[in-house]
Structure 1
């Protein structure tokens, strides 16, 4: 009986810790973004922009061989369903996804695989809609 009580007590403590410490503050559908445009790990390779209805996040990672994965995601936290597209700016080029609909509570985006080592190159994440474009601060090493 004592073992069973201890197990229940430990399980409750773990559950309470998950509720209290599970998600960072100032997050939108899983993305933390501080007022300086840094994500939870506070590195210059992952940048973000807080918007009135969500967070635009952008980062790069090494792909297979000599390629670079470039990711831009939008986490929508409020407002009505909208049609947007995400993209990135790298050097003199700008690349966008197709338009997609996104509703409050959803996270959508795209990862592009670009041949070459662009991990430390400056790039920005883009969110384009009928009224204009938002962008993240520059992600770089």
Structure 2
């Protein structure tokens, strides 16, 4: 009986940790207004509402760029998340994204990259999408 209780507690702790870990990404990408701004209205965070989700890019003062796709509907796709800066595009490896999933890719750039015009990218076999330009 004790072993079953411990297994249950461990499973609950893991589930709670997973929810806590994924919640900030999902909530950050959950809102996108018609001008391409998230709920923070910060120009360093820009987004694009798509028919089956939201594409989101964020740059931090430490030089990290992250692109996130929160998929809300449609069939599973294989896609590459990326960013474009100074006319050059960079993509992560392809990932499978199903309805209800949120996937992100991050790149560590130099701190001097902060405030440069950066665009979030999503590329898949059916086409590609981009966010408006993030900046300071």
The answer on 1:123 being equivalent to 2:122 is no
Distance 1:72 1:32 in 2: 15
Structure 2: 5+ residue runs without aligned partners?
A: 1-25
Question: Residue by residue, what CA displacement relative to the aligned partner does 1:89-136 show, whole Å, maximum 9, x if unpaired?
Answer: 000211001000011111001110012411110010000001221000
In 2, the alpha carbon distance for the partners of 1:87 and 1:132 equals 14
Distance, in Å, in 2 between the alignment partners of 1:47 and 1:75 is 14
**Residue pairs, 1:86-105, within 5 angstroms:** 86-105=81-100
Match of 1:51 in 2: 50
Q: Report the CA distance between 1:62 and its aligned residue.
A: 2.3
**2:7 corresponds to:** none
More helix by share: 2
TM-score by length of 1: 0.74
Q: Answer 1 or 2: which has greater strand percent.
A: 1
1:71 to 63, 66, 73: 66
User: What value does the CA root-mean-square deviation take over the aligned residues?
Assistant: 1.0
Aligned counterpart for 1:114 among listed residues 109, 122, 134: 109
Determine which structure has more spread, i.e. the larger CA radius of gyration: 1
Q: Give structure 1 stretches of 5+ with no counterpart.
A: 1-28
Within the alignment, does 1:34 sit opposite 2:16 as a pair?
Answer: no
- Counterpart residue number, 1:24: none
Query: How far apart are the structure 2 equivalents of 1:58 and 1:113?
Result: 14
**Whole-Å Cα distance in 2 between the matches of residues 123 and 81 of structure 1?**
27
Counterpart of 1:71 in 2: which secondary structure? strand
1:7 maps to none
Whole-Å Cα distance in 2 between the matches of residues 116 and 43 of structure 1? 18
